[in-house]
Amino acid sequence: MNTHRKDMPTQIAHPWKATVRTAVTTIVSAAVLFVVAQPIIEEQLGAYLPDAWAAWYAAAAGFLTALGAALTRIMALEQAQRVLALVGLGTGIERETDSASPDA
């Protein structure tokens, strides 16, 4: 079980909470898009789309939600944080702790 420290980003201290937050924001965004776009798509393209298009649209939203949540969970791993820091997308915590060390 991870314990929260002041120098630890919340994504690392509580990775499942970060994952759930990402899933919630993605599904809410997809739901809003579905509610707004569905009538427009149906009006403009309804004659050309198969009857099951809405189910495929909803399945795509669900897939993207699951994928986003899985990637968020993977990015919270310590190994992924090291890689993200190498490409300039780290949390910044590693720089603060590195500069505070006597070897710096």
Cα 82 from Cα 72, distance rounded (Å): 15
Asked if the structure places residue 43 within a domain, the reply is: yes
Min mean pLDDT across 6-15, 21-30, 46-55, 90-99 is at 90-99
Asked if the structure places residue 7 within a domain, the reply is: no
Give the pLDDT mean for 9-33: 83
Asked if the structure places residue 4 within a domain, the reply is: no
Give 12 or 65, the one with higher predicted confidence: 65
Asked if the structure places residue 83 within a domain, the reply is: yes
User: Contact at 8 Å (CB) between 78 and 8?
Assistant: no
CA angle, 3 then 4 then 9, to 5°? 130
Asked if the structure places residue 5 within a domain, the reply is: no
Asked if the structure places residue 2 within a domain, the reply is: no
Asked if the structure places residue 36 within a domain, the reply is: yes
Please state the domain count of the chain: 1
Print the domain residue range for 50.
Answer: 12-98
Asked if the structure places residue 69 within a domain, the reply is: yes
Give the pLDDT mean for 69-98: 77
Q: Is this structure's pTM higher than 0.85? A: no
Mean residue pLDDT across the chain: 79
Structure tokens at 82: 């090291």
